[in-house]
Structure 1
Amino acid sequence: MRVLVDATAIPAQLRGVGRYLDNVLPALVTAGVEVTALAQARDRKHFEDLGVACVPDVAVPAGRAARLAWEQYGLPGVAARLAPDVLHSPHYTHPLRWRGPLAVTVHDGTFFSDPQWHTRTKGPFFRAATRLAVRRADVCIVPAQATADELHRRLGLEPDRAQVAHLGVDTALFKPPDAEAKARARAAAGLEPAEEFIAFLGTLEPRKNVPALIRGWVSACARLAGPPPALVLAGGAGWDRDLEAAVAAVPAGLRLLRPGYLPLAELPGLLGAATVVAYPSLGEGFGLPVLEAMACGAAVLTTRRLALPEVGGEAVAYAEPTDDSIADALGWLLTDPQLREQLGQAGLARAARFTWAACAEAHLRGYEHALRRSRQEGRR
């Protein structure tokens, strides 16, 4: 199986799609798939170091609009020259001029179910891209059954054209950290050496529900008999208009830290050192921070929205995404170290089920389906 993967949409900071490709592409190579990545010049050595071959000497514009134009007018020619068994577009969009076997990854369906979580430009763009993918792709690869169900309900995606590929976790990196890793992550976040804290990891966007987390943390701290834990909001800046007001309302005496985007190597120390990792999202296509926190032995608090229960199962604590429910759950967890220990152990066991090898195997099934469907329609 020869697969050409368009990896040109990866941002400079490795967020969602970058983390996904960094892990699934080497796993596909290990599984025997002949993977070739189309990457921007800055990323080629990175992929080659991961054991993934790259197309040489292809100039891909770095700007978003220019890259999207190249995807439509430059990528089809490169794909036609290389003649892969399948073209895989891993981030919603794909070249409309490509008529061969096509797999498109659709990461979530919230652009349709909850458009208010997205910006006025991002929402319409990704809704249009998703509609085209559902209409034209031989297979849509999705990270959770909840996402497949949402695309079926909203857009009529046939179940046999949806390939669920749960994301995995790199347990060589995401594992219970040692004292040195914890100390390094504490310093990176601005914490004192022995300071207890609640950690959040993710882009500060509306769906992450961070203002409710802040208010719930403030309320939970008011009920504690001992010193209150700090709240660390780690992740890239987003567009949550309610965030600054929630931050400004934090009482004196409580510590809220915003270290921004942290290097990947610091994340296990942060997650594993936290008293609680809180991820009270309003809905996710998967929820990779929950899985990674579980793999680090953390006690995790999240919600039962969309795909999050598919990830957490019975190994995490749940709250409704409201101030009061988050406050109650945090208060419960902060005062019960035995429960936190039980959740940490359960999380480790559950996280071990989510491997990138299994994710790669699901991708391969999707590619095989795309190739069969294309042949049946006489396009290959």
Structure 2
Amino acid sequence: MSTQIPVLLDATSLPPSWGGVARYIEGLLTGLDELGVALDVVVKPGDLDRLRAAAPGHRYHAGPASLAKRPVRFAWEQLGLPRLAKRLGARAVHSPHYTFPLLTRRSRIVTLHDATFFTDPGVHSRLKRTFFTSWTRWAGRRATALVAPSRATAAAVRDAVPVRAEIRVAYLGVDPEVFRPPAPAAVDAFAAAHGLGGTGWIAFLGTIEPRKNVPALLGAYASLRADRRARDLTTPELVLSGSRGWDEEAARLLDTPGEGVTEAGYLPLEELGAFLGGATVVAYPSLGEGFGLPVLEAMACGGTVLTTDRLSIPEVGGDAVAYTEPDAHSIAVALEQLLDEPGRRAELSRAALERSHGFTWAACARVHLDAYAAAGVTVEVAA
């Protein structure tokens, strides 16, 4: 039997792709379920069944169908969400993606996922940068409690804006039923379904936006493949999964991809274990992350991960991943070292899987309960 607490979680910001913030919201709700704590949750009607199936212990409310339109959702957040909170008797509103109701008597808990809008503004569009820096400043002034997914993000927010509330660090978790080492048959099936040859593949997972550093990865791969061919060595194919964002250079390069490069688009959730765990290397040369969930998901699949030591990523990867500088030459050198050292790849794979076990949604949920307590809503859960 769950303990219902007077917190309303606004889950209307779930994106259609069900990535990023959706993984966080779904994971948080499953973690709270595991702890025996239930919230009121408002969602867009189209997301109701999936969230309820994932975390059935909560009390769900369908918002208006028009919330699928972003301007309508923002307007409803300011007017309709406070009214719903009052009707439900909620003492606090948790806004899990930057924006929140500016005028309400309820306590406000706000999750700030990323501070690269301040630390590396050039990797974001001007509109996005202005939007998120503004909401981060308002959250710093008005939120009763703040949550961030890493120490690096919390520190960067504190450096960038005045913050009146404590920022609690809640590392994200990973679903071990989805992200786990794949069976060999699943890897073979994935390779066959996507036309991958017998040389394996290098995986990239993420939205193709400037901070993901995809042009440098493509340049590294092209030079690596050419160099290895000159020495009569094979190179795994490079497979990129994720939607195209606003990286014009990456889009131009992917419009005429070089030999061995495949743009797979969005992969179904059930294929990600085989994609990440079956890869020879998972390459994620990001210029900076608020957390770096693809790194953790690859680790949970037993993947050998090559990434950078920027911002929060070392908090996730620790010594269980390989690191590189983000330029194309460094990436190519680091990739070749891993391709040529199967023993090192196996060692990293084992370490990554073990480290990933420490990132659970229940642990993430416990930190959120501390944030709710700071906002005046306390609940006792078993240790």
Partner of 1:216 in structure 2? 220
Kept in 2, the 8 Å contact 1:189–1:232? The answer is no
Deviates more, 1:19-28 or 1:178-187: 178-187
User: 1:59 Cα shift?
Assistant: 5.0
Aligned residue type for 2:37: V
Deviates more, 1:328-337 or 1:43-52: 43-52
Kept in 2, the 8 Å contact 1:8–1:60? The answer is no
Partner of 2:86 in structure 1? 80
Question: 1:35-50 counterparts in 2 under 5 A?
Answer: 35-50=39-54
Aligned residue type for 1:195: T
Question: 1:15-30 counterparts in 2 under 5 A?
Answer: 15-30=19-34
Partner of 1:236 in structure 2? 243
Question: 1:88-167 counterparts in 2 under 5 A?
Answer: 88-157=94-163, 161-167=166-172
Kept in 2, the 8 Å contact 1:218–1:250? The answer is no
| 2:353 is the alignment partner of 1:348 | yes
User: 1:48 Cα shift?
Assistant: 1.7
| 2:368 is the alignment partner of 1:359 | no
Deviates more, 1:306-315 or 1:149-158: 149-158
Judging changes above 3 Å, is the alpha-carbon distance between structure 1 residues 30 and 85 closer, same or farther for their aligned structure 2 residues? farther
Partner of 2:234 in structure 1? 227
Kept in 2, the 8 Å contact 1:169–1:292? The answer is yes
Judging changes above 3 Å, is the alpha-carbon distance between structure 1 residues 62 and 244 closer, same or farther for their aligned structure 2 residues? closer
Deviates more, 1:241-250 or 1:128-137: 241-250
- Residues 66-119 of structure 1 show CA distances to partners (whole Å, capped at 9, x for unaligned) of 111111111110111112232100000001112211100100111112222112
Which whole-Å CA distance do the structure 2 matches of 1:247 and 1:34 have between them?
Answer: 45
- Name stretches of at least 5 consecutive residues in structure 1 with no aligned partner: 374-380
Judging changes above 3 Å, is the alpha-carbon distance between structure 1 residues 40 and 217 closer, same or farther for their aligned structure 2 residues? same
| 2:188 is the alignment partner of 1:179 | no
User: 1:57 Cα shift?
Assistant: 6.6
User: 1:250 Cα shift?
Assistant: 5.6
SS of the residue corresponding to residue 172 of structure 1 reads coil
- The count of residues paired between Structure 1 and Structure 2 equals 369
Kept in 2, the 8 Å contact 1:118–1:206? The answer is yes
Which whole-Å CA distance do the structure 2 matches of 1:249 and 1:45 have between them?
Answer: 40
| 2:324 is the alignment partner of 1:286 | no
SS of the residue corresponding to residue 102 of structure 1 reads strand
SS of the residue corresponding to residue 226 of structure 1 reads coil
Aligned residue type for 1:37: V
User: 1:56 Cα shift?
Assistant: 4.7
Q: Percent identity?
A: 47
SS of the residue corresponding to residue 61 of structure 1 reads helix
Aligned residue type for 1:278: A
Partner of 1:376 in structure 2? none
| 2:327 is the alignment partner of 1:322 | yes
Kept in 1, the 8 Å contact 2:108–2:375? The answer is yes
Partner of 1:309 in structure 2? 314
User: 1:247 Cα shift?
Assistant: 3.8
Kept in 2, the 8 Å contact 1:29–1:35? The answer is no
SS of the residue corresponding to residue 68 of structure 2 reads coil
Which whole-Å CA distance do the structure 2 matches of 1:213 and 1:367 have between them?
Answer: 41
Judging changes above 3 Å, is the alpha-carbon distance between structure 1 residues 176 and 229 closer, same or farther for their aligned structure 2 residues? same
Deviates more, 1:62-71 or 1:236-245: 236-245
User: 1:60 Cα shift?
Assistant: 5.0
SS of the residue corresponding to residue 74 of structure 1 reads helix
User: 1:186 Cα shift?
Assistant: 2.4
Aligned residue type for 1:55: H
Which whole-Å CA distance do the structure 2 matches of 1:250 and 1:344 have between them?
Answer: 29
SS of the residue corresponding to residue 223 of structure 2 reads helix
SS of the residue corresponding to residue 81 of structure 1 reads helix
Question: 1:264-279 counterparts in 2 under 5 A?
Answer: 264-279=269-284
Which whole-Å CA distance do the structure 1 matches of 2:113 and 2:354 have between them?
Answer: 25
SS of the residue corresponding to residue 55 of structure 1 reads strand
User: 1:231 Cα shift?
Assistant: 0.4
Which whole-Å CA distance do the structure 2 matches of 1:115 and 1:208 have between them?
Answer: 13
Please, what TM-score do these two structures have when normalized by structure 1? Answer: 0.93
Deviates more, 1:263-272 or 1:20-29: 20-29
Partner of 2:253 in structure 1? 246
Aligned residue type for 1:196: G
User: 1:171 Cα shift?
Assistant: 1.1
User: 1:245 Cα shift?
Assistant: 4.0
- Residues 16-49 of structure 1 show CA distances to partners (whole Å, capped at 9, x for unaligned) of 1111111111211221322111001111111221
SS of the residue corresponding to residue 180 of structure 2 reads coil
Which whole-Å CA distance do the structure 2 matches of 1:328 and 1:348 have between them?
Answer: 24
Aligned residue type for 1:243: A
Aligned residue type for 2:233: G
- Residues 144-193 of structure 1 show CA distances to partners (whole Å, capped at 9, x for unaligned) of 000000001111335x610100001111211110123213332454423x
